[in-house]
């Protein structure tokens, strides 16, 4: 599998898992008082058994790639990095980066760029707190 396919697959998998998190795992507001603890327990199990392992695998793939490369498509920033920036930002919020030092170094490098800072000024935060 070539690098662009890997990036595309990782991006698709992450977005699919993120949709699951946002729609299922975190929205128990529809449940009534008695049902709410049950839905929270189920969503926690789904997260532990399905979502978290898939995210871990995707992030390990990116971590291993960034161990050998400065950016996702080589030695200089490219469109692949712009595409993956949201994925990496969202992953930090969901997983943290203690296990992924290369991803942490990568996102720090991206955040230092003046173009990234200008984009945040124009568009606001990537993810809500």
Q: Is the pTM of this model over 0.95?
A: no
Mind listing the pLDDT tens digit for each residue in 7-49?
Answer: 666 667 776 766 666 565 455 555 566 667 777 777 777 777 7
Distance of CA 8 to the CA centre of its chain: 13
**Three-state secondary-structure class, residue 9:** helix
Q: DSSP label at 71?
A: B
Can you list the domains of the chain with their CATH numbers? 3-123 (1.20.1050.10)
């Amino acid at each position: 599998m070539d690098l662009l396919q890997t990036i595309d697959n990782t991006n698709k998998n992450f977005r699919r898992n993120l949709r699951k998190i946002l729609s299922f795992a975190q929205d128990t507001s529809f449940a009534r008082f008695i049902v709410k603890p049950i839905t929270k327990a189920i969503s926690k199990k789904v997260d532990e058994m399905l979502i978290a392992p898939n995210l871990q695998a995707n992030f390990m793939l990116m971590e291993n790639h960034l161990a050998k490369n400065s950016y996702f498509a080589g030695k200089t920033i490219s469109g692949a990095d712009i595409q993956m920036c949201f994925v990496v930002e969202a992953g930090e919020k969901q997983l943290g980066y203690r296990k992924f030092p290369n991803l942490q170094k990568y996102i720090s490098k991206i955040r230092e760029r003046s173009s990234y800072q200008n984009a945040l000024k124009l568009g606001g935060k990537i993810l809500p707190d």
